[in-house]
DNA sequence: GTCTATAGCTTGATAGAC
DNA sequence: GTCTATCAAGCTATAGAC
């Protein structure tokens, strides 16, 4: 065919759902084929490197989503707390109010060091740096800004784990609401 | 043989390491056999219900560890903050200073509702309840105590995710140190 | 670009000897 | 209680028609 049955971005979006939900090992080609509507062999045409290339492409796709959409408000000209609030709003949608897992979490399972784990670590650090940058612009010292960024991301990830494990999404929602103060106020209250 | 090659508790301990590291889907019988030193067929003699029974036994084993050891200090007669400090010390060891994952996290991947997910949710709630109880004994209102327990567990789980994803265990260590105040002080500072 | 068909390996699980 | 040998089903990956 001239044009693909599923466009690249749509394909990556569907792929990302499988990897987010099941992790790398749980994302079997059967599940992927079912979720994308493509047969196994068609997937190998799109991703000659097989499952590992799919995983890497999904990580790159999510990197792009974060850079161009989810974290973009952090670099606007609004007041820092407003920027964080807008990011929280977008994250809330992306993570389906706590009902979807984080790719960086589910793809980091298993022991060995491999290219995927290295990609995950890089993406995580980029997210941390973006949070720390807005905290510094809010007037926090670099050290404190970094610590607050780490706290914010820990609470966020923990909220997602708790939502997945217990089905209770309220703590996750609370974390989202606390992010602006956490990342911009000089003292906790 | 009269006595088993690997005693029950040792076997469960080795099993738990595989499930913690790889999750349910990633814990293949090959990995389990290698980690336990038993052949596949021997594992089926110990766990006739197969992999699912192994997973359930591991969850029960960890429940017992939490009840009898890790969370036990919460119910001592020390001051509440001291109790939490002792729990944090034990958790620090159990999670190998952040280098080991939480079973309740890695076993909660994948979509469908099943007996394992229900067990995970129950164990998570028991942990939450124990934390909330000590917060109430420290003088917090039931509502606030529950919220602090949720916060504590979110930060803890998030710290583990961050440690696994980035290799940086310092934020996790910081969370451990903050737990006593978080669970016993009436105001944040 | 997608498909059917298939290769070859790994998976979870079982049978039966010792 | 553990083992070797084996099974059917699943897996990742490839070949070749359309």
Distance CA B145, CA B132 (A): 5
Nearest to B183 by CA among B87, B66, B62: B87
Cα angle A129, A121, B171; round to 5: 65
Q: Give the per-residue pLDDT at A2.
A: 57
Q: Give the per-residue pLDDT at A189.
A: 64
Q: Which of residues 16-55 of A touch strand C (CB under 7 A)?
A: 37-42, 45-46
Cα angle B2, B6, B8; round to 5: 95
Distance CA B28, CA B8 (A): 20
Tell me the percentage of chain B whose pLDDT exceeds 90.
94
Distance CA A7, CA A24 (A): 23
For A101, name the nearest residue in chain B, comparing CA atoms only.
Answer: B109
Q: Taking the C1' atom of D18, which residue's CA lies nearest?
A: A1
- Listed as ranges, residues in chain A with pLDDT below 70 are 1-2, 189
pLDDT digits (tens, 9 = 90+) for B94-117: 999 999 999 999 999 998 899 999
CATH number of B1-55: 1.10.10.60
Q: Which of A105, A156, A187 sits opposite B165 (nearest CB)?
A: A105
Q: Do B101 and A109 touch (CB under 8 A)?
A: yes
* pTM of the model as a whole: 0.97
CA A28 / C1′ C4 distance in Å: 20
How close does chain A come to B68, measured CA to CA in Å? 22
At B2, the pLDDT band (50, 70, 90 cuts) reads: low
Q: Give the per-residue pLDDT at B105.
A: 98
How close does chain A come to B1, measured CA to CA in Å? 34
Per-domain boundaries in chain A:
1-55, 71-184
3-state class of A135 per DSSP? helix
Tell me the percentage of chain B whose pLDDT exceeds 70.
98
Is residue B189 predicted with pLDDT exceeding 80?
no
Average pLDDT on B15-39 reads 98
Q: Do B22 and A26 touch (CB under 8 A)?
A: no
């Amino acid at each position: 065919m001239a044009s693909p049955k599923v466009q690249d971005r749509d394909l990556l979006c569907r792929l990302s759902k499988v990897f987010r939900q099941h992790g790398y090992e749980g994302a079997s080609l059967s599940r992927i084929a079912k979720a994308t509507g493509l047969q196994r062999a068609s997937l190998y045409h799109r991703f000659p490197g097989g499952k590992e290339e799919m995983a890497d492409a999904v990580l790159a796709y999510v990197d792009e989503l974060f850079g161009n959409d989810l974290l973009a408000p952090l670099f606007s000209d609004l007041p820092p707390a407003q920027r964080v609030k807008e990011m929280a709003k977008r994250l809330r949608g992306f993570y389906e109010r706590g009902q979807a897992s984080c790719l960086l979490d589910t793809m980091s399972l298993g022991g060995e060091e491999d290219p995927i784990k290295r990609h995950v670590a890089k993406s995580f650090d980029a997210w941390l740096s973006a949070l720390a940058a807005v905290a510094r612009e809010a007037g926090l010292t670099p050290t404190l800004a970094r610590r607050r960024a780490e706290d914010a991301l820990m609470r966020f990830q923990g909220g997602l784990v708790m939502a997945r494990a217990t089905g209770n999404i309220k703590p996750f929602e609370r974390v989202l609401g606390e992010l602006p103060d956490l990342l911009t106020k000089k003292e906790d209250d």
